[in-house]
């Protein structure tokens, strides 16, 4: 007989059943069962955190790989790039200007100074002709005027340096145009790289399914709020979880589950208070961070979210899917870390689910 069976038999014995020691044993067994459930739950949360971390690292690695490839393409470019002289972007002209520049490069020392993309060319066509005859980009108006003065001076018609100066002046203007074009190209690349960096920064902080902030952005905001908590008003965290989400995935497929998450994300974004940050924490869990609990009643906000989710439907392949959510709320204690606040919100969420789901629970009510 193993120890568990032996203990059960002793507790069932009539002589021992009502003793104080038997009651203590039963209480200890109940405590052990609760501890075991908590350990299992923490293990599941840890596994989910680990999976989310792997996914985040993979996404960041893919973003870095794309950026490295883009930078490699920029570094290996040679020659002149067809840049629109107005909007400063690479012209999408089917390679026409590339062919022209290649031809000029093979058959002469001329350089194509500029070319407009179709949109700018159409806009330029509406400009009066007097405005299109200005000095070409990069040319020095003062040098052009000086050369015109030299060429128009009859006293210098036979001067031996007149032709040399004309050649030097034209070479100078040609060099100015080329430098101006290279500067435009450099500015264009700089602008595009800035836009790429901004896009990568946004992508690294955005959940691709819902368009909300992702776990990384939420953690950064939590860290900022915890650092500011000693000198500002406290903040609150609400953890929102879709009830019976696995049932949706198992019965209707993961595409239906994605539709549910997108619908919930839209509701959260619409109801989030000003200055609050809402994002997808992972899986079917979402997080709402409210920075000023003095001016915002987070319990009322969460109750509104719960009610709107209960009344809403998610559309998928002509089917309407009804969902409910359970919400756990925790107010940040300035003496603790934001991880402690997250644990309190998670504990309140677990209580909401244990009490029947589709409800809002606060950690200070437990």
Statement to judge: residues 191 and 322 lie in one domain: no
Name the residue among 241, 237, 200 with its Cα closest to residue 339.
Answer: 237
pLDDT band at 234; cut points 50, 70, 90 = confident
362 strand-pairing partners: 329
Cβ proximity of 325 and 215 under 8 Å: no
Name the residue among 144, 177, 298 with its Cα closest to residue 236.
Answer: 298
Q: What is the pLDDT of residue 204?
A: 82
Statement to judge: residues 303 and 284 lie in one domain: yes
| Helix (H) / strand (E) containing 324 | none
Q: Average pLDDT of the chain? A: 75
Statement to judge: residues 256 and 181 lie in one domain: no
Statement to judge: residues 262 and 173 lie in one domain: no
Residue ranges making up the domain that contains 114 = 81-126+137-204
79: pLDDT strictly greater than 50: no
Q: Which of 204, 224, 239 is the last residue of a domain?
A: 204
Distance, in Å, from the CA atom of 208 to the CA atom of 199, rounded to the nearest integer, reads 13
Of the candidate ranges 58-72, 227-241, 253-267, the one whose mean pLDDT is the lowest? 58-72
246: pLDDT strictly greater than 60: yes
pTM value surpassing 0.75: no
Distance, in Å, from the CA atom of 64 to the CA atom of 103, rounded to the nearest integer, reads 37
90: pLDDT strictly greater than 60: no
285: pLDDT strictly greater than 60: yes
Statement to judge: residues 316 and 230 lie in one domain: yes
Of the candidate ranges 70-84, 190-204, 272-286, the one whose mean pLDDT is the lowest? 70-84
333: pLDDT strictly greater than 70: yes
* Helix, strand, or coil (residue 248): helix
22 within some domain: no
pLDDT band at 292; cut points 50, 70, 90 = confident
55 within some domain: no
Distance, in Å, from the CA atom of 255 to the CA atom of 121, rounded to the nearest integer, reads 45
β-pairing, 360-362 vs 325-331, is parallel
Long-range CB contacts (< 8 A, 24+ apart) of 54-62? 56/214, 56/215, 56/216, 59/204, 60/204
Higher per-residue pLDDT: 88 or 327: 327
Q: What is the pLDDT of residues 24-52, one digit of tens each?
A: 566 666 656 665 566 566 656 655 655 55
Domain count for the chain: 2
Distance, in Å, from the CA atom of 283 to the CA atom of 260, rounded to the nearest integer, reads 12
First to last CA, the chain: 40
Q: What is the pLDDT of residue 40?
A: 63
pLDDT band at 128; cut points 50, 70, 90 = very low
Statement to judge: residues 236 and 361 lie in one domain: yes
């Amino acid at each position: 007989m193993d120890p568990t069976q032996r203990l059960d038999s002793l507790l069932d014995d009539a002589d021992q059943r009502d003793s104080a020691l038997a009651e203590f044993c039963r209480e200890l067994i109940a405590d052990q069962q609760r501890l075991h459930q908590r350990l299992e739950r923490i293990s599941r949360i840890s596994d989910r955190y680990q999976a989310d971390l792997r996914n985040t690292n993979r996404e960041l690695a893919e973003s870095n790989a794309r950026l490295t490839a883009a930078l490699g393409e920029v570094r290996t470019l040679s020659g002149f790039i067809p840049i629109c002289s107005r909007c400063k972007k690479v012209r999408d002209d089917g390679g026409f200007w590339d062919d022209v520049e290649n031809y000029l490069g093979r058959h002469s020392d001329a350089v194509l100074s500029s070319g407009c993309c179709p949109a700018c060319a159409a806009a330029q066509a509406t400009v009066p002709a007097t405005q299109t005859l200005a000095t070409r980009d990069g040319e020095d108006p003062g040098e052009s005027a000086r050369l015109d003065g030299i060429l128009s001076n009859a006293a210098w018609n036979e001067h031996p340096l007149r032709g040399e100066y004309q050649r030097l002046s034209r070479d100078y203007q040609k060099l100015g145009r080329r430098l101006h074009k290279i500067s435009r190209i450099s500015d264009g690349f700089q602008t595009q790289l800035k836009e790429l960096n901004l896009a990568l920064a946004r992508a690294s902080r955005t959940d691709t399914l819902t368009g909300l902030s992702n776990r990384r952005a939420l953690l950064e905001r939590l860290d900022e709020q915890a650092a500011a908590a000693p000198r500002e008003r406290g903040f609150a965290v609400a953890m929102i979880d879709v009830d019976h989400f696995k049932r949706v995935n198992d019965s209707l497929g993961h595409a239906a589950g994605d539709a549910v998450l997108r619908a919930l994300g839209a509701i959260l974004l619409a109801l989030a208070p000003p200055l609050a940050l809402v994002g997808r924490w992972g899986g079917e869990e979402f997080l709402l961070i409210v920075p000023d609990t003095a001016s915002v009643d987070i319990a009322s906000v969460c109750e509104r979210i719960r009610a709107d989710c209960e009344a809403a439907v998610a559309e998928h392949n002509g089917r309407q899917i009804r969902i409910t959510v359970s919400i756990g709320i925790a107010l940040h204690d300035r003496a603790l870390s934001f991880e402690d606040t997250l644990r309190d919100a998670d504990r309140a969420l677990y209580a909401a689910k244990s009490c029947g789901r589709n409800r809002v629970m606060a950690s200070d009510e437990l």
